[in-house]
Amino acid sequence: MDTLSRFDLINLVFTIVTGCCGVYLLLPHSHGRAKPILAHRIGYVFSSLSLISLFLFCRTTNVEFVTKAFFYIFAVASVACAILTITSRDPIHSALWFAAVVLATSGLFLLSGAQFLAAGTVIVYAGAIIVTFLFVIMLAQKEGRAIYDRMARAPFLATLASFLLLFGLLLALLGMRGQPVMGSGESKNITYPHRVVSAAERLRTRNQLSSKQILVLTRSLPASSELPESRLQNPDAAPLASGNHVASLGWTLYTEHLVTIELAGALLFAALIGALAIATPRAPVRPTMGIVVNAQPAEAKVS
């Protein structure tokens, strides 16, 4: 928070206030005697202003143009489609806008080098989960537009609460800007992991400790080989930037995160059984059903 410049603070307050007004106007509730179309248009204007000022916070200095362009396209698309998801009157429109959010997010995954995850997100989320949503909307819809789709619950309080949360998150994230940067996992040949080195740097600059005191402090920490930094110390681990992405991801999944895989599989299994048991609520057939006491002979019925 000490490194938040004045421009950042003003921009942040502007983003939150315009976003709050815009989304409040776009949420479905009555606007008194004003026409809803006018309220929607003003809401769209405010939301766009808020989006633009939110993306003024994003700094892309040492990035090539193509990456920058695609980052902005995907990020703006995801936030804009998110606003449209939560403010659509028709749940089918909400589901389709959410599909757009998922596509934009998977584009962002692709930009950060998670190729398998990008494809997997599109296939599982946009392909399976949203299609399931659409089927359920088909099976569970009323005739025409329902009144509960046009009525948001406590729109002012909900918008206030969510944008307060966003304010806190953005304040925390923007306050981290001026800190000495911990290195990414690119460098090799280090004796201490990066977080120890940078923590020592910060100690030195903030508390003006001498280098001898730093040495004493860092010696008391566990040796680098005992710290759980898998990538920086372990030369056998598959590097993140290797040629074969899926093979490396698979290697990591099945060696370091095997228990995670097994737990996820068990969860899927349990969910499968649970969904089948819940969604087919037929009365169970008891063994005594069908046996009638003091009945007429059933031969006439059988023939």
x/- letters, 153..182, toward another protein (CB under 8 A): xxx--xx-xxx-xx--xx--xx-xx---xx
Closest CA to 146 of 182, 211, 193, 92: 92
CA distance 130 to 106: 15
Residues ≥6 apart with Cβ < 8 Å to 164: none
C-beta separation of 83 from 26 below 8 A = yes
Does 91 contact another protein by CB under 8 A?
yes
Site string for another protein, 37-66 (x = CB under 8 A): x----------------x--xxxxxxxx--
**Which DSSP letter does residue 267 get?**
H
Question: Any contact of residue 259 with another protein (CB under 8 A)?
Answer: no
- How far apart, in whole angstroms, are the C-alpha atoms of residue 255 and residue 273? 28
Part of the chain binding another protein (CB under 8 A), chosen from 135-143, 206-214, 217-225, 286-294: 135-143
Residue 164 contacts residue 20 (beta carbons within 8 Å): no
Q: What is the DSSP letter of 4?
A: -
| Angle (deg, nearest 10), helices 6-26 and 65-87 | 40
List the interface residues with another protein, window 218-257 (CB under 8 A): 230-232, 237-241, 248-249, 252-253, 256-257
How far is residue 193 CA from its own chain's centroid? 29
Distance CA(224)–CA(234), nearest Å, equals 11
Kindly tell me which of 162 and 213 has the beta carbon lying closer to another protein: 162
Does the protein bind another protein through residue 199 (CB under 8 A)? no
Q: Which of 45, 73, 152, 197 forms a contact with another protein (CB under 8 A)?
A: 152
Within residues 104-123, the interface with another protein by CB under 8 A covers: 105, 108-109, 112-114, 116-117, 120-121
- For the bound state, the minimum distance from the C-beta of residue 104 to another protein, rounded and expressed in Å, comes to 9
The nearer residue to another protein, 87 or 200, going by C-beta atoms, is: 87
Of the pair 132, 216, the CB lying nearest another protein is at 132
1 counts as binding another protein under rule CB under 8 A: no
- Alpha carbon distance 59, 63 (integer Å): 9
Q: Binding segment for another protein among 89-97, 204-212, 219-227, 292-300 (CB under 8 A)?
A: 89-97
Q: Judged by CB under 8 A, does residue 197 bind another protein?
A: no
| Interface with another protein, residue 188, by CB under 8 A | no
* Rg for the chain, CA atoms, rounded: 28
Is residue 132 near another protein by the rule CB under 8 A?
yes
| Residue in 29, 198, 213, 214 binding another protein, rule: CB under 8 A | 29
Structure tokens at 55: 């993306």
Which one among 139, 285, 292, 298 touches another protein, defined by CB under 8 A?
Answer: 139
Residues 85-98: b if buried by 16+ CB within 10 A, e if exposed? bebbeebeebbbbb
Provide, rounded to whole angstroms, the least separation between the CB of residue 137 and another protein: 6
Binding segment for another protein (CB under 8 A), chosen from 93-101, 203-211, 216-224, 292-300, is 93-101
- The pair of structure tokens assigned to 14 is 């502007």
